[in-house]
Amino acid sequence: MDSTKTRVPAVEGWFTTDGDDPALLGSRCQACGTYAFPRETFFCANPECDGTTFDEVSLSRRGKVWSYTDARYTPPAPYVAADPYVPFCIAAVELAEEKMVVMGQVVPEVTVDDLTVGTEVELVVEVLYEDDDHEYLVWKWRPVTARPGGTGA
């Protein structure tokens, strides 16, 4: 990691980047409580609800793996792949409080052999790709039981 580079989110307003407890930013309908990610601004997904106002909320930082896979081949653009390409895992994670499933990459040191349906994971923010001046950040899932180096919250 090159500390001279400016760290910026790869997408604006989808997650918090400061502190040890980053979180995804979703919305919660003020009328019926339905969550959405990414956040909804002008309609509620619930067909029984005509709510149009939403609170921005931090989603649960921990969840359980609903399913998982990996990407053995370089995804096409606009994915910005490292050269040489290193395969990574992707997980769909069930959040109990929000009763929803949210996808994301899994931190790079994890392989599919480390995952199972039900594995507890937590949200971290890491570098997705970089250019000469910036490191672009994204949310990733990290198994709670596997923390290389013992770092983390």
Partner 1 sequence: MPDDHSVAVLGVGMHPWGKWGRNFVEYGLAAARHALADAGVAWTDVQFVSGADTIRNGYPGFISGATFAQALGWSGARVSSAYAACASGATAIAAARAQILAGLCDVALVVGADTTPKGFFAPVGGERRDDPDWLRFHLMGATNPTYFALYARRRMELFGATEDDFAAVKVKNARAGAANPNARYRKEVSADEVLASPMVADPLRLMEICATSDGGAAIVLSSMDFARRHGGGRSPSVSIPAVSTVTPRFPQTVIEMPNFATDSAVAVGALAGPAFRRSIAFAAYEEAGIGPEDVDVAEVYDLSTALELDWYEDVGLCKEGEAERLLRDGDTAIGGRIPVNPSGGLSSFGEAIPAQAIAQVCELVWQLRGQASGRQVEGARVGVTANQGLFGHGSSVIVAT
The verdict on 8 binding partner 1 (CB under 8 A) reads: no
For partner 1, the binding residue among 21, 23, 49, 114 (CB under 8 A) is: 49
The verdict on 19 binding partner 1 (CB under 8 A) reads: no
Measured in whole angstroms, how far is the alpha carbon of residue 106 from the centre of its chain?
A: 8
The verdict on 10 binding partner 1 (CB under 8 A) reads: yes
The verdict on 104 binding partner 1 (CB under 8 A) reads: yes
| First-to-last C-alpha distance (Å) of the chain | 20
CB closer to partner 1, 76 vs 150:
76
For partner 1, the binding residue among 25, 101, 134, 147 (CB under 8 A) is: 101
For partner 1, the binding residue among 1, 72, 83, 84 (CB under 8 A) is: 72
The verdict on 33 binding partner 1 (CB under 8 A) reads: yes
One-character DSSP codes across 80-145: ---SS---EEEEEEEETTTTEEEEEEEPTT--GGG--TT-EEEEEEEEEEE-SSEEEEEEEEEETT
52 in the Ramachandran plot: left (φ > 0), alpha (ψ -120 to 50) or beta?
A: alpha
**Dist. CA 26–CA 38, nearest whole Å:** 6
Q: Minimum distance from CB of 35 to partner 1 (Å)? A: 4
The verdict on 23 binding partner 1 (CB under 8 A) reads: no
For partner 1, the binding residue among 37, 107, 121, 135 (CB under 8 A) is: 37
Closest of 115, 124, 59, 125 to residue 92, by C-alpha: 115
Applying CB under 8 A, the residues found at the interface with partner 1 are 10-11, 26, 29, 32-38, 45-49, 66-73, 75-81, 88, 90, 92, 97-105, 112, 116-117, 128, 138
